[in-house]
Amino acid sequence: MAVLGKLVHYSIDLALISTALAGIRRTTGLTPKIDNPDGTVGMAVKRYLEVGELVIDHSSAWLASTKYFRRE
């Protein structure tokens, strides 16, 4: 059971880092430089960063639907 807990913990940490990188990309336009975007590692990094984009999109849509936040 401890292994499963660590796996969940590390997965959440990786998603948070990806979300932070996606936020940096959206606010500043800076993106990580990937040497070979068509290679296996490049595709994995691209998919990893897409997770952060997905988290930002879904969380902002959810927050906009609550009564505690509003768009300006």
φ, ψ for residue 27, nearest 5 deg: -85, -35
Tokens of 21: 């990188």
Q: 18: how many CB neighbours lie within 10 A of its CB? A: 21
Predicted TM-score of the model (pTM): 0.80
Tens digit of each residue's pLDDT (9 = 90 or more) over 5-51: 999 999 999 999 999 999 999 999 998 887 777 788 888 888 999 99
What residues does each domain of the chain span? 2-64
3: three-class secondary structure by DSSP: helix
The pLDDT of residue 23 is 93
Buried b (16+ CB within 10 A) or exposed e, 20-53: ebbeebeeeeeeeeeeeeeeeeeeeeeeebebbb
